[in-house]
Amino acid sequence: MARSPVLIYLIVVLFVLLLLSFAPKRPNRPHRRLKLRSAADLSDQTGRDRRGIPFDPVIADIERRREDREWERAHFLPQGHAPAMEAQPEWEDFMDAEDYINDEERFNVSDRIVQLFPKIDVAPADGFVSSDELAEWNLRQVEKEVMHRTQRDMELHDKNHDGFISFEEYEPPSWARRYHDDNATGDRVGWWKEEHFNASDMDGDGLLNLTEFNDFLHPADTNNPKLIHWLSKEEIRERDKDKDGKLNFQEYFNGLFDLIRKDDVYNFTHESDSSTDAPAKRLFSQLDHNNDGYLSEDELIPVIGDLHPSERYYAKQQADYVISEADTDKDRRLTLKEMIENPYVFYSAIFAEEDDYNYHDEFR
C-alpha cells in the first residue's frame, strides 16, 4: 500500500528533528569577534609598550599600519585638514581592518598557529614549545614594534633629514615638558635632557644614529654602559633627599626597596629575623660593596634591571603566563595540539572584552 505524501513528510521532519537534537549545541551568546588593540594604550610615560606583546606578526602588521595612519594624521596634517581618499592595500580595505581578521577564509586562527609553530619551536625543534622559546619569539615581535616606532619618531625629529638626531633637533614629548616645568632640576638633568642624550651617544659624536636613538627612547633595553650608568645616577638623583650624591639606608628603603622586592628575586620571604626591615637591610648590605653605609651609582647598577625591567623581562613574563594557561598536561611546554585547543590565550590581546567564557569552539 502506497504511503501518503503527508505521512512521508512527517517522517522526514521527525528524522531531521532527531538529528538536530543530537547535534552539538553552541552556547546562546553572541559571536566574539577579534578586535584590534587601541592605539591609545600604546605606552606609558617612559614610552614603553604596555600592551600585550603581539603573538602573530600578521596582526601586528595590521595594527602598525593603522597606527601609522593615525600618527601621520596627528603629526603631519595641518589642523582640521581632511586627507584625500587614497587607495588602500587589498587586505586592509575593511572596516577598521577587523573584518579581515574575522573572516575565516582570510584569517583562520588555527591555521595561523599551525604556520607559526615551527617558527617558534627552534631551540631545539623537538615538537614542543618551551617557555624560553616562546619568550624569544615574543621578544623578536616586540623588538620589531619598538624599532618601528623609533624609526617613525626619528623621521619626526630629524629636521635636516641627515639620518641623525642632534640634541637641538630633539623635542621631548609634551608630558615630559610639563613634568620638567613642575619639577625644575636644571636644564641638563633628567629624562629627555642633555645628560640623557649624551649618555645615549655611544660613539660620542654629538649625534644619535638609529640604534642610539632607540636606546635614548628605551634605555631599559640598552647594552650601552654609559646609559646604564646614567639610569643608576637618575635613580639616586630622584631619591637623594640630602643631595649628597648617594643613598643612605632610609632613602633606599623609602624609595627603591619595594620596587626591587616585587619579583622576590632575593628570596625576601624566607627571613628568620622578625624585623620588618631585615630583608631591606640584607640587600642593602649586599649592594654596599665598600661597606660605607651608602649606595653609590656603581653599587646600584646590579639592580637597575629590577628598577627598569627590559622587554626581555616582559617577554618572559608573557611566555610563562601563556604556557600556564595552555599547558593542559602540565609538563611546562606546549604541543601544537595544546596551542590549537587554546587559541584564545595567544590572541587574547585582540579579543573584544565582553563575556567571560571558554571560546575553544569559536575557532574550530
Higher pLDDT, 86 or 204: 204
pLDDT > 80? residue 268: no
Residue 298: band (very low, low, confident or very high) from pLDDT cuts 50, 70, 90: very high
Which of 9-18, 115-124, 266-275, 352-361 has the largest mean confidence? 115-124
pLDDT for 90 equals 47
Minimum mean pLDDT among 81-95, 231-245, 252-266, 275-289: which range? 81-95
Residue 78: band (very low, low, confident or very high) from pLDDT cuts 50, 70, 90: low
Average pLDDT, the chain: 78
pLDDT > 50? residue 59: yes
Residue 10: band (very low, low, confident or very high) from pLDDT cuts 50, 70, 90: low
pLDDT for 15 equals 61
pLDDT > 70? residue 151: yes
Report pLDDT digits (tens) over 180-222.
555 555 455 578 899 999 999 999 999 999 999 999 999 999 9
What is the DSSP code (8-state) at residue 328? T
pLDDT for 360 equals 38
pLDDT > 60? residue 72: yes
pLDDT for 358 equals 40
Q: Which residues contact 63 (CB under 8 A, 6 or more apart)?
A: 36, 37, 39, 54
The strand pair at 165-166 and 207-208 is best described as antiparallel
pLDDT > 80? residue 31: no
113 neighbors 336 (Cβ within 8 angstroms): yes
Give residue 112's identity as a one-letter amino acid code.
R
pLDDT > 70? residue 225: yes
pLDDT > 70? residue 260: yes
Higher pLDDT, 318 or 75: 318
Q: What average pLDDT does this structure show over 275-279?
A: 75
Residue 20: band (very low, low, confident or very high) from pLDDT cuts 50, 70, 90: low
Helix residue spans in the chain (DSSP H) = 5-22, 57-76, 98-101, 109-120, 131-157, 174-182, 194-200, 210-217, 225-239, 249-255, 257-261, 278-287, 297-300, 304-307, 311-326, 336-341, 343-346
52: cell is 600585550
What does the angle CA 302 – CA 308 – CA 313 come to, to the nearest 5 degrees? 90
pLDDT for 19 equals 57
pLDDT for 102 equals 75
